[in-house]
Homo-oligomer: A and B are copies of this chain.
C-alpha cells in the first residue's frame, strides 16, 4: 500500500504547455458569441464553411510562408514515417484544397474556415503557440472588386462586433506599388527586398528615425543590442521614407500623392490603376473613408502576397497590433498544380481580437449560460430535483441541479449560484416537499439588495429578498415570467 508521500511523488503535474492556454467558460462564452457574429457576416458575403486537418505533409507547409515560418513549424512523423507538421495558417491548406479538388470546388469559390493554427515561436503576452484563425478567401478572379469585397466584409465584421466610427481602421497597400518603388530604386535582389519590407513594417512601432537607420547602417536598440542595417544609400532611403510617409484625408488623395513620387512607367500605371479601381469598388460597397485607408507603409510579412494587402487595427488598443489581415496571393495555388488560381482573403486572429475587444470593454462577460440552479436542503430525494430540472428544460430553460458532495450545505449552494451569476434559484426543502410547493429566488434582486444593506438587522431580513413560494405546478410559469424580466 502506498504512503500518501509516495502517492504524491507519483502525481502528474497538471500543467499547460508553455505558450499555450486553457480557456475558461467566461472566455469561451464570449468567444462563441463573437464567432457567431463573424460567421453571420461572412455567410452574408457568400462564403461557405470548409475544414481541413490540423496536420499536413511537411512539403505542403514548407516554403510558402517564408523562412521565418519554416522555423516555427511543429514537426513530427506520421505513422507511415513521413515528415508531417501542424499547419501554421489556414491559407496554405486552402490553396492545397483548390489544387486537390478542382472538380468539386468549381471556381469562383469563396470559403470561410475557423480553426486552430500552430507556430513554435517565442511566446509572450498575447502571443500563443496555438491560436485560432477565422479566415475568408475567394478564389477564381483577379479582379480587385473581390479584394474590395474582402475589405468590406472585414469592415462589416468590425461593425458587427460593436466597433463604431474611428474605433477600427483597415490599412490597405499593394505589393505591386512596393515592387514598382523597389525596382525603380534599383533594389532587385530578393533577400534585400524582403529585408527592406521587414524594416518598413516596423514603422508604426519604432518610428521613422529608427527605420531610416535600419535601412542604412543599422542601429542599436533599447537593450543595447546592435540591429544590422540594409545598407542603402541616403538618397534611396529618403525616397523610401517619402513614399511610406504619404498620407491623405481620402484614399484618392493618397493615390494622388503616390502618383507624384513614383517615377513614370508601366508598372506604376498598372499599380495605381488597380488601386484606383479598388477605391471605386470600396465606394460601391459603402466602405467609408475612415474605415479603410490607403497606407503605403503597410508591408505584411508573408511571402505569398502578390497584390493588395490589408490589415485592421483598433486605434483604442494600439499595443494589440493588427487583429485581422490578408491580401491577394495569385501564385500560391500554382505551388500545387500546373495552373495559377487567383485568390485573395483575410484572416482574423481571434485570440488577439478577443483580447483587444476585452481591453476596450466590448466583451460582455458572463460565466454561465445557465438560467436556473436547483438547490435543496438535506433529505430531499434526487428524483424531486431531477423532475424540477426536467420540467424547466422541457420549456427550454437552461437548468443545473446542484449535485455535490454531501458536505455542501445550503449556504454553499446559494453562494455557488451567486458566484456564477445564475439569475434564478429554485429551492426545495422539506417544508416545500410536504406542501407540494417550491421556493423561487431571483438572485439578481438579492444582489441589488445586498449592495444597499446598511445594518445587521437588514442583512438578516435580506435572506428572503426576491423569494416567492408557489405551487409545484406553477413553477415553470413563474420562472419563465421572472426570466422574461417582467
Interface centre among A16, A28, A336 (most CB of B within 10 A): A16
Q: Nearest-CB distance from A380 to chain B (Å)?
A: 11
Interfacial chain B residues near A126, Cβ < 8 Å? none
A84 touches B17 (CB 8 A): yes
B383 touches A280 (CB 8 A): yes
A249 within 8 A of B: no
Contact mask for chain A residues 103-138; partner B; CB cutoff 8 A; 1 contact, 0 none: 011111011000010101000000001100000001
Q: Report the bound CA distance from A313 to B52 in whole Å.
A: 27
B400 touches A45 (CB 8 A): yes
A24/B104 contact (C-beta < 8 A), A46-B370, A49-B32, A53-B130 known: yes
Across the two chains, which residue of chain B brings its CB closest to A395? B44
A223 within 8 A of B: no
Q: Which A residues from 182 to 230 make CB contacts under 8 A with B? A: none
B145 touches A386 (CB 8 A): yes
Interfacial chain B residues near A281, Cβ < 8 Å? 382-383, 386
Q: Which A residues from 1 to 57 make CB contacts under 8 A with B? A: 4, 7-8, 11-25, 28-29, 31-32, 43-46, 48-57
A53 touches B399 (CB 8 A): no
Which of B29, B149, B337, B398 is within 8 Å of A11, CB to CB?
B337
A410 within 8 A of B: no
Q: Report the bound CA distance from A43 to B357 in whole Å.
A: 25
Q: Report the bound CA distance from A433 to B386 in whole Å.
A: 65
B14 touches A100 (CB 8 A): yes
B403 touches A285 (CB 8 A): no
Which of B120, B338, B386, B401 is within 8 Å of A7, CB to CB?
B338
Interface segment among A75-83, A166-174, A288-296: the answer is A75-83
A396 touches B44 (CB 8 A): yes
Interfacial chain B residues near A283, Cβ < 8 Å? 383
B401 touches A149 (CB 8 A): yes
B21 touches A53 (CB 8 A): yes
Q: Nearest-CB distance from A472 to chain B (Å)?
A: 14
A28/B49 contact (C-beta < 8 A), A284-B387, A386-B145 known: yes
Which of B49, B141, B280, B337 is within 8 Å of A403, CB to CB?
B141
Across the two chains, which residue of chain B brings its CB closest to A397? B44
B404 touches A140 (CB 8 A): yes
A461 within 8 A of B: no
What is the total number of residues of chain A having a CB less than 8 Å from a CB of chain B? 113
Q: Report the bound CA distance from A118 to B283 in whole Å.
A: 47
Interfacial chain B residues near A4, Cβ < 8 Å? 338
B14 touches A402 (CB 8 A): no
Q: Nearest-CB distance from A269 to chain B (Å)?
A: 19
A28/B11 contact (C-beta < 8 A), A148-B386, A284-B387, A382-B145 known: no
B14 touches A60 (CB 8 A): yes
Q: Report the bound CA distance from A405 to B111 in whole Å.
A: 18
Interfacial chain B residues near A21, Cβ < 8 Å? 53
Across the two chains, which residue of chain B brings its CB closest to A64? B12
A-B contact pairs, 27 of them (CB 8 A): A14-B97, A15-B57, A15-B96, A17-B57, A18-B79, A20-B53, A22-B51, A23-B50, A23-B51, A25-B48, A28-B51, A29-B48, A31-B51, A44-B396, A44-B398, A45-B393, A45-B399, A48-B368, A55-B130, A79-B129, A110-B400, A149-B386, A149-B401, A152-B390, A280-B383, A281-B386, A284-B382
Beyond A24-B101, A54-B86, A108-B416, list 17 extra A-B contacts (CB 8 Å).
Answer: A15-B57, A16-B52, A16-B100, A17-B56, A22-B101, A24-B105, A43-B398, A44-B396, A46-B370, A53-B130, A55-B74, A55-B130, A74-B76, A79-B120, A141-B405, A145-B385, A284-B387
